[in-house]
Amino acid sequence: MTFAPLFVPEEIREAVSDRAWLAAMLDFERALAAAEAAEGVIPTAAGGAIAEACAPDGYDVDALAEQGRAVGNPAEPLVRALRERVGGEAAGFVHWGATSQDVTDTAAMLVAQRALERVLAELAAVADGLAALAEEHRSTPMVGRTLLQHAAPTTFGVVAAGWLVAAHEARARLADVASERLAVQLGGAVGTLSVLGSDGERVLARVAEELALAEPVLPWHANRTRIAELGAALAECAGVLDRIALDLALLAQTDVGEVREAAGGGSSTLPHKQNPVGSVLVRASARLVAAYSGVLTGGLAQEHERGAAGWQAEWEALSGALAHTGGAAHTLAVTLAGLEVDVDRMRRNLDATGGLVLSEGVAFALAPTLGRERAHELVREVALTAGRSGRTFREELVADGRVELTDVDLEDLLDPARHLGPAEALVDRALAFHRSGAA
C-alpha cells in the first residue's frame, strides 16, 4: 500500500496488517486446541500449553511468509514454529485435525470481523453526518442537477437525504454480511473433518463459539461465497462513499461553490487553492476497493477441495478492500463533519438562470390553453432564447407575446419554494429510515 497513511488511519491499517493476520492465525490454533481439549479430543494439558504459546509476541511474520514460499502459504511455517514453541508431548496436538487453509481462512474471517467493527463505525459516522446535514438543510433550496445541467429546484436536505439512504443501504448490507456470513473454517485435509471423526461436528461448533464466528453447514475451502459477498458489500459501501465524494467535489467546484471542505487542501504552488482533498482521497480509495473486491468476487471458481490460486490471491485483496473502505469512510466522516455549506451561493446558483429551471411548471401552466406539446415547445423556444440573449427566462417570457400569464401567475410559477413538491416529507422519510436502521 504505497503512501498508505495518506488514505487509511493507523488503527485500520493495523487491523489488517500482517501482525493482525498472525494474531488471528494464532487465535485459531488456540481456539482449536481449547475446543478439542474441551471435547476430550486432545489432553487438557496440551490445550493449555498450546494456548500459552499462541501469544503473538516473538513470531516473525515476515520470516514466516518468506518460509511460506516453499509451501505456498504462511500457515504451515507458523504451525511448525508453534509446535516448536509448545514443545514436548503437547506439540503433537498442535493443529490437530486441521489443515493450513483452516488457519488462513479462519484468520481471514477474524481479521475481517475486527476490521469491520471499525469500518462499520466509520460508516455509521458518515450516516450520522449525512443525517445532520439533511436535518439542518431540510428546507434549504438549491438547484437540482441532472446530466450535470441545472434541472429544477430541490433542497440540500433532499440531496443529503439521498446520500443518507444510499449510505444506509450499503452499510446495512455490510453489517448483514458481518453478522451472518463470517464463519469459522475447519475441515481438515479435504474438508471431511476426517481426523476428528465423530467428534468433528462438535469441535466445529465449539471453535465457532470460541471465536464468535458462525458455524458453517459444511467446511467451505472451495466455496467462496462468503468471501465474494464480503467483497461485494465492501465495494458497495466504497461505491456509495465514492458517489457522495463525487457530488461534494462537484458542488465544491470554484464554478459552483455550494460546499467547501473545512480542511481544504493547499497546493505546492497555488496559494489560493482550496482543494476538496477529503473527497479526492475517498474517491481514490474507492477505486482500489473496487479492484480488490473484483479479486474477491473473482475467486469463486476454485478447484476441487482447495483452490490453486484463487485462495492465495485473497489475502492481499481482503486486507486492501477492508483498509480502503475504512479509510474512505473515515475520511468522508471527517469531511462531512467539517463541511461548510454556502446557503447563499446555493440560492444564487438556483436563480442564476433567471427561472429557467422552473420552465417545467410554466409549460404545465400553459398546457390547458395551448395543449401540452405546443406549450412545451413554446417554453423550450423561450428558454433557448434566454440562454443566448443574456436576458433572464422571466424577461423573455414577458417579452414573448404568446405567453398569456399574469404577473401574479409568473411570480408563483417562478418561485422555487413552490415547486419543491413533497421535498420535506421525503427528508423525513429518509431520517426515519436512518433512525430505524440505527436502532
Q: Which of residues 337-376 bind its own copies (CB under 8 A)?
A: 349, 352-353, 356-357, 359-364, 367, 371-373, 376
**Cα 410 from Cα 400, distance rounded (Å):** 13
310 touching its own copies, by CB under 8 A: yes
Confirm if 132 and 201 have CB atoms less than 8 A apart: no
- Nearer to its own copies among residue 34 and residue 94 (C-beta): 94
Instruction: Name which of residues 120 to 159 contact its own copies (CB under 8 A).
Output: 143-155, 158-159
By CB under 8 A, name the one of 57, 272, 401, 406 that touches its own copies.
272
**What is the pairing mode between strands 259-260 and 149-155?**
unpaired
114 touching its own copies, by CB under 8 A: no
**How is 32-87 classified by DSSP, letter by letter?**
HHHHHHHTTSS-HHHHHHHHHHT-STT--HHHHHHHHTTTTSSHHHHHHHHHHHH-
- Nearer to its own copies among residue 336 and residue 383 (C-beta): 383
425 touching its own copies, by CB under 8 A: yes
Confirm if 218 and 185 have CB atoms less than 8 A apart: no
Q: Which of 19, 69, 179, 267 is catalytic?
A: 267
Confirm if 69 and 84 have CB atoms less than 8 A apart: no
Instruction: Name which of residues 7 to 66 contact its own copies (CB under 8 A).
Output: 7, 16, 18, 21, 61-62, 65-66
Residue type, 109: M
Interface with its own copies (CB under 8 A), residue total 182
Q: Which stretch binds its own copies (CB under 8 A): 34-42, 45-53, 186-194, 398-406?
A: 186-194
**Cα 43 from Cα 341, distance rounded (Å):** 65
**Is 306 labeled as catalytic in the residue annotation?**
yes
- Nearer to its own copies among residue 106 and residue 331 (C-beta): 331
Number of neighbours of residue 402 by Cβ within 10 angstroms? 12
Confirm if 434 and 127 have CB atoms less than 8 A apart: yes
Q: Which of 306, 347, 374, 391 is catalytic?
A: 306
**Cα 403 from Cα 385, distance rounded (Å):** 14
**Is 267 labeled as catalytic in the residue annotation?**
yes
By CB under 8 A, name the one of 57, 58, 217, 404 that touches its own copies.
217
Q: Which stretch binds its own copies (CB under 8 A): 28-36, 44-52, 190-198, 400-408?
A: 190-198
Instruction: Name which of residues 197 to 216 contact its own copies (CB under 8 A).
Output: 197-198, 200-201
**Cα 79 from Cα 49, distance rounded (Å):** 14
* Min dist. Cβ of residue 373 to its own copies (A): 7
- Which of the residues are catalytic? 267, 306
